Amino acid sequence: MNTELASNVNWVGYVDWPVRDFHGYQTKRGSSYNAYLVKGAGKTALIDTVKGPYAESLKRNVAALCPLTEVDYLVCNHAEPDHSGALPAMVAACPNATVVCNAKCKDALERHYATEGWRWQVVKEGETLDLGGRTLQFFDTVMCHWPESMVTYLQEEEILFSMDIFGQHYATSCRFDDEANMEEVMQEAKTYYANIVLPYARPVETAAKKLLGLKLRIVAPSHGVIWRAHFDRILSAYLDWRVSKPARKVIVLYSTMWQSTRRMAEAVAQGANETPAEVKLLDLSVVGDTEVITELMDCAAFAVGTPTLNQGLMPRVAACLTYARGLKPAGKTAFAFGSYGWASKGAEEAEGYLKAMGCTLLREPITCRFVPDEATLEACRAAGRALAGVAVQVP
């Protein structure tokens, strides 16, 4: 496996092939935690670490390139444990190393780990660190993805270690974009954006504008492949995703108890299918939230169906809408529907989530008692046509 970004600049991270649940994010293609070793003429820096359980692998990768006693700096761009988890082990293994981070990160690390005895070098925006013929420069990227998030730029090689920005949860034996399957890379980059970056789209845009003023030959994120050939593709995609730029696509998602809400969902999809819009019908009993939010991010319109259960939503619908409400894809038109037995509550509660997400409501909820009759199904088809009518207007 080629791990060399430039002479004496190497990937030393960990590829997490089996991980399928990343704090609720369903990582169907695994992930990687990227750490990088940069050797200058006089000093050596490790940029970020890996998840705690994989500290031994990180130590081995570093030791293959230089004795651990010769590591001078442990740069921590981000305190989240997928990148800082192995930091305590590295501090212990590298007796001459100083931890380099910003003030907020130092505070966060002190709250996560037993840091007594650690040596620190707290850096500010734009500050540099001389490794001997090689210069690291640090830039704060607040809320990309935590308040202390920072990126590191290797000036002479024009390499940006971009932390979570431009990452993908994607396990591969290839370290570079031009070696990997780009269709899979871009799909996982999109899923990553929808599930991680979306609520921070504005700060990421601000940070990107600042960082694009740098000369960028290589952009090395903390997850997935390193961008050295196709950075233009991920940059262009980020511009679209930041506004949840809609496609001519309608999503119908639902959960059902005794098939009534399923029949309503199918009628909505049937109506939408009478137009040129792309239509996807997602049964929440088999489709996970990670996939749903990725579909919602670039749809123009969607409908959500739930029966009333115990005076509320079906649990899968509640979970999915809670997840989507937090990530808040922008600019969608939507409505709710569903069946009930003796008191209609579920669809109305779902509509409350749609309002909280800032959706434009197409219409009031469509509900029916127990089983939809033909009039109800026709109302669903008409609503599906109207929803798709919004989608096909997308330029």
**Which residue has the CB atom at the shortest distance from ligand FEO?**
80
Measured from the CB of residue 144, what is the shortest distance to ligand FEO in angstroms?
9
Give me 52's structure tokens: 């705690």
Measured from the CB of residue 110, what is the shortest distance to ligand FEO in angstroms?
18
The verdict on whether 223 is a catalytic residue reads: yes
Pick between residue 146 and residue 337 the one whose CB is nearest to ligand FEO: 146
Q: Which residues bind ligand FEO (CB under 6 A)?
A: 78, 80, 82-83, 145, 164, 222-223
Pick between residue 119 and residue 202 the one whose CB is nearest to ligand FEO: 202
Measured from the CB of residue 10, what is the shortest distance to ligand FEO in angstroms?
20
Q: Which helix (H) or strand (E) holds 212?
A: none
Give the separation between CA 120 and CA 100, rounded to whole angstroms.
6
Q: Which residues have C-beta within 8 Å of that of residue 145, sequence separation ≥ 6?
A: 78, 80, 163, 164, 196, 197, 200
What are the start-end ranges of the E strands in 88-194?
98-101, 120-122, 128-130, 135-140, 150-154, 159-163
Active-site residue, from 25, 36, 192, 340: 192
What is the residue whose two structure tokens read 């050596």? 44
The verdict on whether 23 is a catalytic residue reads: yes
Active-site residue, from 14, 25, 54, 145: 145
The verdict on whether 295 is a catalytic residue reads: no
Question: Could you write out the DSSP letters of every residue in 275-332?
Answer: SSSEEEEEETTTS-HHHHHHHHHT-SEEEEE---BTTB--HHHHHHHHHHHHH--SS-
Measured from the CB of residue 223, what is the shortest distance to ligand FEO in angstroms?
6
Query: Which amino acid does the sequence have at 390?
Result: V
Pick between residue 72 and residue 164 the one whose CB is nearest to ligand FEO: 164
Distances, alpha carbon 183 to alpha carbons 165, 169, 177, 201, in Å: 19, 14, 10, 23
The verdict on whether 107 is a catalytic residue reads: no
The verdict on whether 192 is a catalytic residue reads: yes
Pick between residue 222 and residue 290 the one whose CB is nearest to ligand FEO: 222
Question: Could you write out the DSSP letters of every residue in 42-104?
Answer: S-EEEE----GGGHHHHHHHHHTTS-GGG--EEE-S--SHHHHTTHHHHHHH-TT-EEEE-HH
Pick between residue 161 and residue 302 the one whose CB is nearest to ligand FEO: 161
Measured from the CB of residue 245, what is the shortest distance to ligand FEO in angstroms?
24
Name which of 321, 334, 329 is nearest 388 in CA terms: 334
Measured from the CB of residue 81, what is the shortest distance to ligand FEO in angstroms?
8
Active-site residue, from 80, 140, 157, 177: 80
The verdict on whether 156 is a catalytic residue reads: no
Name which of 291, 279, 282 is nearest 391 in CA terms: 279
The verdict on whether 230 is a catalytic residue reads: no
Pick between residue 162 and residue 222 the one whose CB is nearest to ligand FEO: 222
Give me 29's structure tokens: 């293609």
Name which of 372, 361, 318 is nearest 336 in CA terms: 361
Pick between residue 222 and residue 344 the one whose CB is nearest to ligand FEO: 222
The verdict on whether 169 is a catalytic residue reads: no
Q: Which residues have C-beta within 8 Å of that of residue 395, sequence separation ≥ 6?
A: none
Active-site residue, from 82, 157, 177, 266: 82
Active-site residue, from 48, 164, 266, 351: 164
Measured from the CB of residue 146, what is the shortest distance to ligand FEO in angstroms?
6
Report helix, strand or coil for 251: strand
List active site positions.
23, 78, 80, 82, 145, 164, 192, 223
